[in-house]
Structure 1
Amino acid sequence: MNQEDIIDLGRLLSIIVDKKKVVISIIAVCTAIAAAVSCTLPKEYISQTTVQVMGIDMVISGKTTDSNIVSDMELLRSNEVLNPVWEQVFCDLEPENRPGIESFAKNYISVTNVKGTQLIKISAKGRTPQEAQYIAENVAQNFMELKNKAVEENKAMIGSVFDEKIQFAVKEADNATATLEKYVAEHGHSADTLEYKRLSREVDAKNVAYEALVVQAEKAKIQQSGNFIQVMDPANMPDENNPSGPKKKLLVAIGFVIGCLISLGYGLVLYKKKA
């Protein structure tokens, strides 16, 4: 390292002190600009609501599972849930001045999971307390309606599948019984013959398969009816006198730090000139 590359901190500090009026002016201007910007930025308010998605397994055992929580959170951020809210919230703005749906999802909506639970917290940002509450409330409502619709469709699909399987099982059992009855009619009650025993076992197997399907279908109905969503914490109305943003103190602090950095740079420039 060259000797001239080494900075004498004492000398640098002396230069800054000598130019303290300029340094203080730079810091004051940067801080004032930051304060002015913080005052011109629009106010922001945040409303929160919490929903719980439960399944029959949780109702019975009390245990939580996160198997579907990720997909539920993605559903909450989907256009299908957000679009109706987005259209209503920004209807007062010209189309070219409205944020896009992607920007709305990213900057106005926050969706988080309370770890180890089936609770999903929705935080909504708005330009007014009423708007923030409206967004949180309606995003939760749209999500619940969409989720319940999906549950009903899934229930109908599962019911249809089991109905087809049960009808087939009934047909198989009836055919096996008819075959056995035909054999008995032709050969009498020859219970000791191998063919009679085989046909009897087939009838029993078909009946067992049918009964098992009926049990499975009933269990599936119980599981589907046990899925439900409820609002744990309704969307709150933020205090109009206590906005969540802009963070004025933080912005002023950032302006002060920037002023200090510019002043340091100014001091370094003077230091190099006098070197």
Structure 2
Amino acid sequence: MDGQDTIDLKAIKEIVIKYKKKLITIVVSCTLLAMSIAFMLPKSYESATLLRAKSPKQNGGISIQAASALAMLGAGSISTPTQAYIELMKSRSVLEPIIAGLDLPDEKKVKMDAEGFAKSSLKIQNTKNTDLIEVTAIGRTPEEAQAISKDVVINFQRLLTKLNQSEQSLMIQFLNTRIIETKKDMEQAEQNLEKFRQQEKIYIPDEQAKAIIQKVVEFDKKIAELQVQNDTNQAKLQGVNAQLNKQNVAISRYNIADNPGIQEIRSNIIQKQMSLIEMQQRYTDKHPNVVLLQSELNELNAKLSQEVKNSIQSGANTLNPIHGGLLKEKVETETELLVGQAAFDTAKRLQAENEKEISKLSAGSITYIGLERQVRITQEVYGVLVKNYEQTRIQEAMESMDIQIVDEADLPKRPSGPRKLLITAIGGVLGVMLSFMYVMVLYNRESKRNGMIM
């Protein structure tokens, strides 16, 4: 029994000496075979492009549309822009046009898919704790490797632009429609005022009317601005809800807005906003009380954002980061709508008090003020809409430039593979392992033979 559990090194040594020519032949044969294979394998070349991935949002998150696209790809654990970008670079939208352009027979192209191509021809790496992404492409020629590396970046930038534009499309469509309608109303209001001026020969109102116009118009501007902002937030909320519905997120399971802490902060924000509207009627924006109140509002908004984030992380921990981000956007937009509506109602109430002074004027002045207000209101609404439209378009363009090319794809001068020395060394190691196995087979055979003799 003990003999079976031990190895006789002396016997092993005798076998090695006896069959050394065969053993050397095995090692040399495996090494030469590996060397031959290494020289027979086709050459491959690597071309690398270095990118810098800027965060599309100030808070470091990824855009809603891009996040949604990743979620539908099954990338539930993605939470940073660089991770999202790497996954998008491996998508069919980016790689299929590259595969179609390869100089290969059609039957081979049909068998290739984006996933397989990414594994065999791409190495995409993100340096830890940085926003740098290295896209390394492997090709059969230097030109092919360089072309693949370039095309991955070009196709990805096109995809990113498309996704960002799609994210903004609902907002752009809403604002564009409102701008056209408001421009018509503004032109009509201007025509009505000019017609009244010519008929009544009133070109400059009296001082009392001018003072009232100035006071009332300021509130008209504020009301118009609040109305546009509320409508814009409503369109934004529709977009967020649409993305959640696309991904079949059970929103009712995550009633984040019902969180007592969030409700309390919301109430405080609404009260502060109403106080701010009333205070702005009496003071300028630079008045210490107005500045202090605005500062308190900013702190409350920041606190709300953090509370929503904490609620998502604790109470809805089954959500992936993308769904959590959408829910955070939903709650914050709903809060902006509630605050905006409260501010709008307050401004309307204060405006009604101001309008009582108009009744003291003459009939001509009252008509003039009404027409003048209509012109000012439509002009203000038009101005706010155009401003929001331009900001949205600028944001769209900025988000389409989230990727900066640090180093262009290089044209490799030397092949990166096959690694002949490594393959040859592996062949030699394999030969040694086969030789050892052969020695053990011989040893076992000799042991059995000696056992039978005994």
2:97 paired with 1:84: yes
Paired residues for 1:8-157 under 5 Å: 8-55=8-55, 67-90=80-103, 92-96=104-108, 100-101=112-113, 102-157=115-170
Task: Give the corresponding residue for 1:253.
Answer: 425
The separation in 2 between residues aligned to 1:16 and 1:97, in whole angstroms, is 51
SS in 1 for 2:80: coil
- One-letter amino acid of the structure 2 residue matched with residue 236 of structure 1: D
The separation in 1 between residues aligned to 2:395 and 2:97, in whole angstroms, is 31
2:228 paired with 1:166: yes
SS in 1 for 2:409: coil
- One-letter amino acid of the structure 2 residue matched with residue 231 of structure 1: I
Task: Give the corresponding residue for 2:407.
Answer: 233
1:244 aligned residue (416, 420, 431) = 416
Deviation at 1:8, TM superposition (A): 1.3
- For structure 1, list consecutive stretches of 5 or more residues without a partner in the other structure: 190-209
The number of residues matched between the two structures is: 244
**Could you give the per-residue CA deviations for residues 57-116 of structure 1, whole angstroms, max 9, x where no partner exists?**
67xx9x9997322111111000000111111014x3241476512321111011111222
Task: Give the corresponding residue for 2:71.
Answer: none
The separation in 1 between residues aligned to 2:34 and 2:84, in whole angstroms, is 41
- One-letter amino acid of the structure 1 residue matched with residue 24 of structure 2: I
Paired residues for 1:196-235 under 5 Å: 217=388, 223-227=395-399, 228=401, 229-235=403-409
Structure (1/2) with the larger strand percentage: 1
Deviation at 1:140, TM superposition (A): 0.6
TM-score by length of 2: 0.47
RMSD, matched Cα: 3.7
Deviation at 1:230, TM superposition (A): 2.1
Equivalent pair of 1:109/1:125 in contact (CA under 8 Å): yes
**Bigger CA drift: 130-139 or 256-265?**
256-265
- One-letter amino acid of the structure 1 residue matched with residue 406 of structure 2: M
Equivalent pair of 1:42/1:127 in contact (CA under 8 Å): yes
2:439 aligned residue (254, 264, 267) = 267
Task: Give the corresponding residue for 2:243.
Answer: none
SS in 2 for 1:265: helix
- Taking CA–CA contacts closer than 8 Å with sequence separation of 6 or more, which of the two structures ends up with the larger relative contact order? 1
The separation in 2 between residues aligned to 1:135 and 1:247, in whole angstroms, is 21
The separation in 2 between residues aligned to 1:264 and 1:87, in whole angstroms, is 48
Equivalent pair of 2:33/2:427 in contact (CA under 8 Å): yes
Equivalent pair of 2:61/2:80 in contact (CA under 8 Å): no
**Bigger CA drift: 119-128 or 9-18?**
9-18
The separation in 1 between residues aligned to 2:409 and 2:418, in whole angstroms, is 21
Deviation at 1:4, TM superposition (A): 2.4
Deviation at 1:18, TM superposition (A): 1.8
The separation in 1 between residues aligned to 2:398 and 2:43, in whole angstroms, is 43
The separation in 2 between residues aligned to 1:169 and 1:267, in whole angstroms, is 84
- The 1:182–1:231 alpha-carbon spacing in structure 2 relative to 1, beyond 3 Å, is closer
**Could you give the per-residue CA deviations for residues 213-264 of structure 1, whole angstroms, max 9, x where no partner exists?**
98x958766654433222111000011xx21111111111111111111111
The separation in 2 between residues aligned to 1:122 and 1:21, in whole angstroms, is 49
The separation in 2 between residues aligned to 1:103 and 1:8, in whole angstroms, is 50
- One-letter amino acid of the structure 1 residue matched with residue 23 of structure 2: V
Equivalent pair of 2:55/2:61 in contact (CA under 8 Å): no
**Could you give the per-residue CA deviations for residues 22-79 of structure 1, whole angstroms, max 9, x where no partner exists?**
1111111111111111111111101000222324767xx9x99973221111110000
- The 1:222–1:16 alpha-carbon spacing in structure 2 relative to 1, beyond 3 Å, is same
The separation in 2 between residues aligned to 1:270 and 1:230, in whole angstroms, is 64
**Could you give the per-residue CA deviations for residues 125-170 of structure 1, whole angstroms, max 9, x where no partner exists?**
0001000000001111111111122223323334456787717669
Equivalent pair of 1:42/1:246 in contact (CA under 8 Å): yes
- One-letter amino acid of the structure 2 residue matched with residue 48 of structure 1: A
Equivalent pair of 1:56/1:223 in contact (CA under 8 Å): no
- One-letter amino acid of the structure 1 residue matched with residue 142 of structure 2: P
The separation in 1 between residues aligned to 2:49 and 2:397, in whole angstroms, is 25
- The 1:103–1:168 alpha-carbon spacing in structure 2 relative to 1, beyond 3 Å, is closer
Taking only the aligned residue pairs, the percentage that are identical comes to 31
- The 1:155–1:80 alpha-carbon spacing in structure 2 relative to 1, beyond 3 Å, is same
SS in 1 for 2:412: coil
SS in 1 for 2:49: strand
- One-letter amino acid of the structure 2 residue matched with residue 104 of structure 1: F
